[in-house]
Chain A
Amino acid sequence: MEKISYCKFKKYSLLPGFKLTLGFTIFYLFLIVLIPLTQLFFNVATLSLHQFWLIVTSPRVIHSFQLSFGLACLAAIINAFFGLIIAWVLVRYHFPGRKLIDALIDLPFALPTSIAGIALTILYAPQGWIGSYFTLLGLKIAFTPLGILIALIFVGLPFIVRTVQPALEDMDAEWEEAAVCLGASRWQTFTQVIFPMLAPALLTGFAMAFARALGEYGAVIFIAGNIPNVSEIVPLLIISKLEQFDYAGASAIAVAMLLASFLILLMINILQKWNYNKMEK
């Protein structure tokens, strides 16, 4: 029994291999992820605060930030609405083809983004299968911000469905039965009982879909049109800075984007905690 661990860092365990596995994990993490990421911040540190500010507040950069954040947010909202319906239909109803639909949900997650990009472009182009109908309505989708929105909805959908689905599966029928016994209509049961219970999962899914949409590049560039100040997203702007060997500019924009998206994810986390505490009461 001499082997009882005195170190407070880790609880005693019978199993071997802790040092080896944790050591390798941390080594690999530093080598592949953390050291390269800090290089980004070192690169930005060579700029003065004023230079940094000038880069990230130039009109072209501001516009691409507005476009990327606005569209990512809008896509996540649309996905939250339809994703909730899809998760609901998959969990609550039995109908022919349900398994097939369930399997297809993961497709945007696994399909190479450039392939999704060219397929969506062909589909929503003015002469495309879907685009031609919108042309009749006088609406152009591909090569406009609307096209970017479609691509971002595509990449974000699985995140909402796959976070809401388990929450809906785990929900006990008792709550709904109690609501009905107390005289609630179906709509009241949904808005007052079911929706508040799903809200945390929906919010998590929203955050993940938003984060994914914000950084998306492959699915977007084909359908976007990529016109500066009109349909140029932040990742594309980073690439164009890089192609001009403007490393400082590219890193400044990348850092601003990372900080902004972490800030938003942090806010969603705080909202989640606040919501959780409210539910506890």
Chain B
Amino acid sequence: MSAHRLTQITETNWIKWLLIIIAVVFLGLLIVLPLIIVFTQAFAKGLSVFLNTFNNTDAIAAIKLTLLVAAIAVPLNILFGILASWAIAKFDFRGKQLLITLIELPFAVSPVISGLIYVLLLNTHTIFGQWLAAHHLQIIYAVPGLVIATIFVTFPFVARELIPLMQEQGTEQEEAAVLLGASGWQTFWYVTLPNIKWGLLYGTLLCNARAMGEFGAVSVVSGHIQGLTNTIPLYVESLYNEYNFVAAFAMASILTLLVLLTLLFKTLLEHKYSREIVSI
């Protein structure tokens, strides 16, 4: 691009390189070095110590719990994301903007407050909490609480990826399908879904990365019971607080790797299907 610009319309070379160097150094100090730290610390005492971290019942319990929480929260949010974006993108109705704002609300709320609201709602001082206690249902400081808090925090991810994408694609193709006699389900499955699949996949991956990595909200509702309600990020915290840095970063490296793969995948997709992906 810049090669085709007239010299007056772009910057002189030294300014260009100065800006590039500023950008690279800033990102290096802020993003690349922390990334390198995760892996150097994880392998600081060699591969066997690294692997030893996972040979531990608490570590395995944390990994299993993280997978379980994501396996419940992510599909529910995918379902919600698809239905919400169908309603919002394919129809015109009053209050649409308000609905979009409300869907994005969990992004504006501190993770700590996200956890707090469920503790307030379900603790034993409330009517609902007393009913739960009477029926011996434990939500807060137990697995269901972790799931609900994770659903709240990852609530907007799929929807906000799909809404702009489906709005841009309009309704003509779906209308044609309906006029040709397709049922609602057929229209979605054969017409809409192929158009949104990459956006949906990326939204799902981001939702999953956040679901597995959520810390603040989950920390409030978890009660930090080792081996029972510790997800990977919470387990990382407790290892770190015990000064067991190698183990903490070894656990952290699994999730970091997952995030790196997600971003790599996004970059590859963006290259091919740039119109079907919306950043952040």
Binding site for B on A (CB under 8 A): 8-11, 13-18, 20-22, 24-26, 28-29, 32-37, 39-40, 43, 82, 85-86, 88-90, 92-95, 97, 99, 101-116, 118-120, 122-123, 129-130, 150, 153-154, 157-159, 162, 165, 173, 176-177, 180, 186, 189, 211-212, 214-218, 222, 234-236, 238-239, 242, 247, 250-251, 254, 257-258, 261-262, 265
Contacts and interface: CB of A to CB of B under 8 A. Distances in A.
A17 B2 CA distance: 48
Contacts of A119: 34-35, 37-38, 41, 249, 252
A220 to B, nearest CB: 10
A113 B178 contact: no
B267 interface: yes
B9 to A, nearest CB: 5
A112 B37 contact: no
Interface string B209-243: 11011111001100000000000111011001000
Contact of B216 (A15, A109, A113, A159): A113
B86 A242 contact: no
Nearest to A173: B9
B109 A130 contact: no
19 contacts: A10-B94, A11-B92, A22-B91, A25-B84, A25-B99, A32-B148, A43-B120, A93-B20, A101-B24, A105-B27, A106-B280, A110-B206, A112-B215, A112-B232, A113-B216, A115-B233, A173-B9, A211-B108, A247-B119
Contacts of A25: 80, 83-84, 87-88, 99, 103
A122 B246 CA distance: 12
Shortest 10 CB-CB contacts between residues of A and residues of B: A215-B110, A112-B213, A218-B215, A16-B184, A119-B34, A217-B216, A21-B87, A235-B112, A10-B93, A36-B117
A173 B184 CA distance: 45
Interface residues of B, number: 103
A108 B256 CA distance: 11
Most chain-A CB neighbours within 10 Å: which of B175, B264, B267?
Answer: B267
B111 interface: yes
B174 interface: yes
A222 B239 CA distance: 12
